[in-house]
Amino acid sequence: MQMIFFVLDNPNRLDSLVDAWEKAGVRNVTILPSTGFHRHRLGRVPTRALFGDDVDEGNLTLLAIVPGEDTVQACLKATEGLLGDLKLPYSGVFASWTLNTVSGVSLPPQ
């Protein structure tokens, strides 16, 4: 199994991104409000993190456990198909890694 980690720079793209991931084979996603070092230094921590209001500032971090590398690559392709080249600034950060131990998650084999 693999873990996918993605920082979405534009929270307004969340629904489209989750739809694209679902089509790529991702079945469950944990979504967390987040902020980066740059925004922190500027003093622009999203107020939703402090007060729970719905401010479109800051990032969203998505975490998903998937069956294997094929799903990771399909998810990356879907992400870049929607958001463009992730090497460009203010697009997002995508990473994945192998999980040695997983409990509480039932996934189809890849």
Domain at 67, CATH number = 3.30.70.120
Q: CA 63 to CA 7: how far, in whole Å?
A: 9
Q: CA 61 to CA 79: how far, in whole Å?
A: 13
pLDDT attached to residue 90: 84
Tens digit of pLDDT at every position of the chain (110 positions): 999 999 999 999 999 999 999 999 999 999 998 877 665 556 655 555 554 555 446 789 999 999 999 999 999 999 999 999 999 988 899 999 999 999 888 877 77
Residue 105 belongs to some domain of the structure: no
Domain count, the chain: 1
pTM: 0.82
Q: CA 87 to CA 108: how far, in whole Å?
A: 31
Residue 29 belongs to some domain of the structure: yes
Residue 35 belongs to some domain of the structure: yes
pLDDT attached to residue 46: 53
pLDDT attached to residue 44: 57
Closest CA to 14 of 6, 24, 3: 6
Residue 106 belongs to some domain of the structure: no
Q: Which domain holds residue 60?
A: 2-98
